[in-house]
Amino acid sequence: MSAVQEANTQDDKFLLAIRELRVRNFSKNLPFLILSDKLPVNQVYKEYADGHIEIQKVFTVGNSYQHKLIRVLTELEADRIRRIYRLI
């Protein structure tokens, strides 16, 4: 197997694991966290089982993590994010 084929296989395995984690989170009514270097520091995407995606700011208060809703993406924006990160 060539290095390129092996890399593709590793990428495919990684993507499969991410997709399985996403489905598992949704089955437990938990959001799926999408980290992106395209967002400002301390901001993340959170995708929910109903299909909506929010941008949230994450920060710590004492020993706990807190989050603040920045905005809810439109359906078109949410679909674009899922395509970019190969979640669909």
Please give the mean pLDDT across all residues of the chain. Answer: 90
Note the pLDDT tens digit of each residue in 33-66: 999 999 999 999 999 999 999 999 999 999 999 9
More confident residue, 58 or 1: 58
Residue 6 has pLDDT above 70, yes or no: no
- The closest of 42, 39, 46 to 25, measured between CA atoms, is 46
- Per-residue pLDDT band for 13 (boundaries 50, 70, 90) equals confident
- In order of their start, the domains of the chain are 3-84 (3.30.160)
Residue 30 is encoded by which pair of tokens? 């938990």
Per-residue pLDDT at 11: 81
